[in-house]
Every structure is written in structure tokens, then in C-alpha cells.
Amino acid sequence: MSIEMIPDGTAVPDDAALRRKAFVDAARELFFARGYAGTTMSSIAGKVGGSKTTLWTYFPSKEELFAAVVDDIAESYGRALQVDLPVDAPVPHMLRRFADVLISTLMSDPMLALQQLVIGEARRFPHLAETFYDRGPRRGKARLAAWMAEKMARGELRRGDPMLAVHQFSSLCQSGVYQFAILNLPEARRIDRARFHAEIDAAVATFHRAWGIESGIKAT
């Protein structure tokens, strides 16, 4: 595309931004292929075609580079972090919508690979798990907890700890097809959309029995 064809207001990445993105992309590929421990800063620099010194000017440590990989994936695939949560929307409708986006996001190939990497390295490198959780799940759960707190205040959900309610709902949503996917089991490749939505409906119904108020939320 020539400069003349670029619409007004379009941000054109500079060389530094492109170089940084190249390092992040290379790091993601190597982390997923070799694991965190098996990936060196030299190998990342070599894959891009630059020196380790140049890489260090962008990322002073492998930990910071891993955080950038997490941020890049979360920005591209973390739709659950941005899903609208209008407080006037009916509880079951929003729970189904949030669950659909959450599980679809978690089961995307890049997110599955990232989660599998973090789980595999969590015992040796607990800071990786902390980085991943802080930049992804914690942010998404905080948004949903704020929404649930408002629904509790309005009498549409039973009063209690909003974050506990979020943890329980999230666990219900991840109790079926997601377990097959995160473990790369054959069952994950045989799940259709009907089964996917049936599990979400079951999660909403079960959550209703624990937190719902008959006049404010219905299981179906």
C-alpha cells in the first residue's frame, strides 16, 4: 500500500514498533515450541535476525518479554476482557453471553497454547503464572464481579461475595469441553456447537440454583 492510499488518521507503525512486534512474535513461537526454560534471549534475537543487545533495548529480561507475549495474545484474543456488561441487561442473557465469549476465547489455539505453557512452567517459574493471571483472568473476573455486585445490590442476585460468585460461575463454564481442550484430549475435537451451548446453559442453570432470586433470574 502506498502512502497515498493510507486513509487519514491511520497509525503507521514506525521501525521501532515493527521491531518490537517482531521480537514478541518470535518469542511467542519459541516459547510455545520449546517452553519458557528452553528459550533463550539469544535464540529469540537470532530468529529475528538481530543482536541480543538490540533485543535487550526493548526487553531487559526474558520475564518482560513473556509479559509482552501475554499482553499481545490478550489484546488479540481476550475478547472476554472487553465484552460489554450493561447492568440493565437480564442476568441469564448476560451470563450466557459472557460464558460464550469466555470459553470461545479460552479454546482458541493461541490462548490454549499460552495456558498450556503457563501450566507446564508454573511450578518452576511461578512468576509466569502470576503474570498471566494478572494480565488476563484477574482483569476479566474483576469486571464480571463488579457487574454481579451491582446485580446483587439491585436484588437480581442473592447477596454475597461477588468474586466468589464469579469464581464459581467461571469454574462451571470450564468444567466440560474446556477440560478436554486444555488437556488436548480427543473428545475436544468431537464437540459441536450444540454441545457447547448445552454446557453453557447447564452452567447458567446451576449458578441460578446457588445465586439466583426467583423473581430476578430464571434458569431458562
Domains in the chain: boundaries: 3-60, 77-211
**Look-up: residue for cell 478436554?**
180
pTM: 0.80
The grid coordinates of residue 218 equal 430464571
CATH class of 3-60: mainly alpha
pLDDT in tens, 133-162: 988 889 889 999 999 999 999 999 999 999
Write down the pLDDT at residue 135. Answer: 85
What topology does CATH give the domain 77-211?
A: Tetracycline Repressor; domain 2 (1.10.357)
Measuring CA to CA, which residue among 218, 73, 198 is closest to residue 131? 73
Measuring CA to CA, which residue among 147, 171, 20 is closest to residue 90? 147
Write down the pLDDT at residue 215. Answer: 41
The reply to whether domains 3-60 and 77-211 share a CATH topology is: no
